[in-house]
Amino acid sequence: MSSTLILGGVRSGKSRFAQSLAERSGLPVVYLATATPGDDAEMRSRIARHRAQRPPTWRTVEEPLALSHALESLAQPGRFVIVDCLTLWLTNQLLQGEQADVSAEVEHLCELLPALRGDVVLISNEVGLGVVPATPLSRRFCDTAGALHQRLGAICERVVFMMAGLPQYLRGGEDANGR
């Protein structure tokens, strides 16, 4: 199993970089999407653009909440799984309100990841480079995302920070295949 965490700002090239890793792997690809469009026309457009950019041979699975459960069934030897993205998954969790146990979901993901088989790439927005958010929910989101990124950064074999479409390897570096 190979695990990669790709972090970066919005529109930094994270998804494009993950797609290039998947294409270079030569493995069947499963794209695990966490976005939900709701009533947001811009988000529907963004999701449609992402779908159009993926090769038609890739399998897309939409799972906004039960990420660990989906990974348990999808991550297999000889398969490349892209999770896009963890920050939307965290948002979905937080928006469930009091009934959501976000800490338990994060814990389950972090415990599960080392046991997964196959190649897994996790994409997430780095939100810790900006100003402190003004609202309690936004601060909780940033705190939760930052803690998740730190835990995943310690677990993943490779950690990449994307800036201006350029990968900066924080851990692991490129292998002989450019992955």
Q: Which residues, 6 or more positions from 179, have their beta carbon under 8 angstroms from its beta carbon?
A: 21, 24, 25
Element (H, E) at 143: helix 136-155
Residue indicated by tokens 């965490």 = 5
Which residue type, as a one-letter code, is found at position 151? R
Q: Please choose, from the candidates 81, 64, 78, the residue with its C-alpha nearest in 3D space to the C-alpha of residue 4.
A: 81
Burial class (CB in 10 A: 0-12, 13-18, 19+), 149: buried
Token pair for 68: 């660990």
Give the Cα separation of 21 and 37 in Å (integer): 26
- Residue 108's region, left for phi above 0, alpha for psi from -120 to 50, else beta, is alpha
Name the active-site residue from 50, 69, 108, 149: 50
Give phi and psi for 164, each to the nearest 5: 55, 35
Active site residue 149: no
Catalytic residues: 50
